[in-house]
Amino acid sequence: MSTGMESKYLLTSKTPVKSPHGGGTKTSVSISSFPIKRKLQSPVNGIENVIIKAPKLNNGSATTTSNGKSNVNTPTPNGGILHLNGKGIPSKQQLELQRQALPVYKVRQRLILEARRSETLLLMGETGSGKTTQIPQFLYESGFAQKGMIGITQPRRVAAITVARRVAQEQGCRLGETVGYTVRFEDCTSPQTRIRFLTDGSLLREAIADRLLRQYTVLILDEAHERTINTDVLFGIVKEAQKQRRQRGLTPLKIIVTSATMDIDHFGKYFNVRGMYLEGKTYPVKVMHTKETQPDYLNAALVTLFQFHRAEPVNHDVLIFLTGQEEIEAMAHQIRQIAKTHDAELSPVRVFPLYAQLPQNKQLECFLPAHANSRKIVLATNIAETSVTIPGIRCVIDCGFVKRRVYNPSSGLDALRIVRVSQAQAWQRCGRAGRDAPGTCYRTYTQAEMESFENMPKPEILRSNICSTVLQLLALGIDCRTFDFLDRPTPEAVDDAYRKLEALGAVRNYKIKPELTTLGQQMSQFPLDPRYSKLLLSASAFGCMEEMLSLVAVLSGENVFVSSNEKRELAALAHAKFTSKHGDHLTLLNVFSAFLKTEKVKLWCHDNFLNTRNLSYAREVRKQLQEIVERLDLPLNSCGNNQDQVRKCLLIGLFDNIAELQRDNTYLTITGRQRARIHPSSVFHGKYRPEYVIFTEIVLTERNFLRQVSEINPDWIADVLPNYAHLNRIKSSLK
Ligand X SMILES: Nc1ncnc2c1ncn2[C@@H]1O[C@H](COP(=O)(O)OP(=O)(O)OP(=O)(O)O)[C@@H](O)[C@H]1O
CA 21 – CA 36 distance, rounded (Å): 7
Going from the C-alpha of 183 to that of each of 342, 391, 405, 488, the distances in angstroms are 42, 23, 21, 27
The DSSP string of 590-616 is: HHHHHHHH-SSHHHHHHHTTB-HHHHH
CA 39 – CA 42 distance, rounded (Å): 6
CA 587 – CA 575 distance, rounded (Å): 9
Cβ-based neighbour number of residue 124 at 10 Å: 29
CA 510 – CA 638 distance, rounded (Å): 35
Query: Minimum Å distance from CB 394 to ligand X?
Result: 12
Nearer to ligand X, 160 or 698 (CB): 160
Nearer to ligand X, 346 or 364 (CB): 364
Nearer to ligand X, 285 or 552 (CB): 285
DSSP H stretches of helix in 150-296 = 157-171, 200-209, 229-247, 264-271
Nearer to ligand X, 254 or 500 (CB): 254
DSSP 3-state percent helix, strand, coil across the chain (nearest 5): 40, 20, 40
Query: Minimum Å distance from CB 304 to ligand X?
Result: 22
- Are 45 and 272 within 8 A, CB to CB? yes
Nearer to ligand X, 441 or 698 (CB): 441
The dihedrals phi and psi of 71, each to the nearest 5 degrees, come to -95, 140
The dihedrals phi and psi of 143, each to the nearest 5 degrees, come to 90, 15
Separation of CA 378 from chain center = 16
Going from the C-alpha of 538 to that of each of 527, 543, 552, 583, 618, the distances in angstroms are 16, 9, 12, 21, 20
CA 388 – CA 392 distance, rounded (Å): 12
Nearer to ligand X, 74 or 217 (CB): 74
- For 649, the 3-state DSSP assignment is helix
Nearer to ligand X, 386 or 533 (CB): 386
Query: Minimum Å distance from CB 391 to ligand X?
Result: 5
Query: Minimum Å distance from CB 125 to ligand X?
Result: 6
User: Residue 552: CB partners within 8 Å, gap ≥ 6?
Assistant: 528, 532, 535, 536, 625
Nearer to ligand X, 422 or 704 (CB): 422
**Residue 146, class by beta-carbon neighbours within 10 Å (0-12 exposed, 13-18 middle, 19+ buried)?**
exposed
- Are 144 and 217 within 8 A, CB to CB? yes
Q: Which residues of this protein are in contact with ligand X, per CB under 6 A? A: 102, 125, 127-134, 162, 166, 260, 282, 386-387, 389, 391, 431, 435-436
Distance in Å from the first CA to the final CA of the chain: 58
Query: Minimum Å distance from CB 512 to ligand X?
Result: 44
Nearer to ligand X, 114 or 495 (CB): 114
Nearer to ligand X, 367 or 724 (CB): 367
Determine how β-strand 349-354 pairs with β-strand 375-380: parallel
Query: Minimum Å distance from CB 71 to ligand X?
Result: 16
Query: Minimum Å distance from CB 719 to ligand X?
Result: 52
Nearer to ligand X, 133 or 217 (CB): 133
Query: Minimum Å distance from CB 155 to ligand X?
Result: 11
Nearer to ligand X, 114 or 715 (CB): 114
**Residue 396, class by beta-carbon neighbours within 10 Å (0-12 exposed, 13-18 middle, 19+ buried)?**
buried
CA 17 – CA 12 distance, rounded (Å): 11
Nearer to ligand X, 157 or 166 (CB): 166
Nearer to ligand X, 282 or 608 (CB): 282
The sign of the CA dihedral 492, 496, 502, 506 is: negative
- Are 288 and 13 within 8 A, CB to CB? yes
